[in-house]
Structure 1
């Protein structure tokens, strides 16, 4: 008889897999915890799920950018053989990325979002939905890109509306959402102005009540505020340089 693995064991295995950097196993263990129990994940369990998907897609996104750079070089130098190889490699990476993004989006839409509690949990999942549609929009083309971009925007808008209504201005989930939503405007819609507007609004609101920030989330919130500040500096510079060229 095969012993049944309970939720706590699955979570423990997921944490071990994280330490071993075995993110595919880590993801399967979190999914196992959902299967044997329910879809309402604790903060730690949501973090495990997010880390697993983020590492799986992060490596592929990095690989895609590197291969795309070599593709541009081979095209510019008219190196037909190298161009065929790089394009084939890029397509393989894109297929893997699509598979993982579609997997997390199914899990969110079919299982996690319907079971989520209002507040931090629901905002977290809609933020994830926006993130993974954004990843698809990064490399897909034409109608597929438009569809992913619109789905990402819808998810981010809903997440942000819920965050404003239920989470404190310094809450790390709300700040992380603002950061990623601003990146969407900058990278997908090519609008650093809207990115700056959203990021500055979130930054200013949080800084205004910084003295009220809970100690438990202080470190996480401060880190995201620093990232918002860094991106604002970079995006403002982009706008100034672009405007100078247009004069």
Structure 2
């Protein structure tokens, strides 16, 4: 099937919320070793994988919560179900990570594209680290950190502070520091710096990226509010546990 048809079918699958099929179509596009994805194509690929991984991450959190409540009579069934979901998470993450490593990064000619893919690489190693333990968790965490740092080096040099990809990188990198490395200070510093830098240049923001950039800036601020309140020793907000850390595609 030709490239245009695959992209069309991916859009159709997205509208129908059939994300596994959307992945199949965009994977076929991305697996062409000699072709750089357009901005639209890379966004479709990202949305497809974000949805298939997102539903399983949510499932894993639910099952883990049930498992932690300790229903001893059914513990083996619960554990087996959790492990089944983890197997699916591993397959999805390894799938997209292979595509990023072998095709997308080598074929990317723009600095913006490289930031996008290194960020994506960091995200999927982070998703692995969310449920892995011991040496596996450390390996995924180290790879996520390396990928986020590579993305940040390029972004800081080549993209303006208000660029939505640079802001999205800062958001997800700060979430990684907070949730995976348990480093709230570094998470807050990174998020605050990104927010402040963007605010300082808000008047230069292009109309086409205004909505995306300001949305991510709001998410940065929301996370900062949550994280700083978590660190207050006298925090007694009864609703605090219901708030969720935010990241982006």
* Higher normalized helix content (fraction of residues): 1
Aligned counterpart, 1:186: 178
If asked which structure has higher relative contact order (CA below 8 Å, sep 6+), I would say 2
Larger Rg: 1
Aligned counterpart, 2:214: 222
Aligned counterpart, 1:171: 163
Query: What whole-Å deviation, never above 9, does each CA across 1:63-84 have from its counterpart, x for those lacking one?
Result: 000000110112xxxx323211
Aligned counterpart, 2:240: none
Aligned counterpart, 1:52: 48
| 2:12 corresponds to which of 11, 16, 26 | 16
Is 1:159 the counterpart of 2:159 in the alignment?
A: no
Query: What whole-Å deviation, never above 9, does each CA across 1:4-29 have from its counterpart, x for those lacking one?
Result: x2211111110000001111111111
Report the TM-score, using the length of structure 1 for normalisation.
0.92
CA 1:48–1:138: 2 relative to 1, 3 Å: same
| 1:33 corresponds to which of 29, 36, 47 | 29
Number of aligned residue pairs: give it: 236
Query: What whole-Å deviation, never above 9, does each CA across 1:92-111 have from its counterpart, x for those lacking one?
Result: 00000000000010000011
CA distance in 1 between counterparts of 2:63 and 2:107 reads 39
Structure 2 unmatched runs, 5+? 237-249
Contact 2:32 2:103 in 1 (8 A): no
1:242 positional shift: 7.7
The RMSD of aligned alpha carbons is 1.5
CA 1:143–1:98: 2 relative to 1, 3 Å: same
Contact 1:120 1:163 in 2 (8 A): yes
Aligned counterpart, 2:65: 69
Report the TM-score, using the length of structure 2 for normalisation.
0.91
1:48 positional shift: 0.5
CA distance in 2 between counterparts of 1:36 and 1:132 reads 21
Query: What whole-Å deviation, never above 9, does each CA across 1:159-205 have from its counterpart, x for those lacking one?
Result: 00100011011000000000000000000011111100000000000
CA distance in 1 between counterparts of 2:119 and 2:74 reads 38
Structure 1 unmatched runs, 5+? none
Aligned counterpart, 2:245: none
Contact 2:20 2:52 in 1 (8 A): yes
Is 1:85 the counterpart of 2:77 in the alignment?
A: yes
Deviant stretches of 4+, over 6 Å: none
Q: What is the DSSP-based 3-state SS (H/G/I as helix, E as strand, rest coil) of the residue aligned with 1:21?
A: coil
1:37 positional shift: 8.1
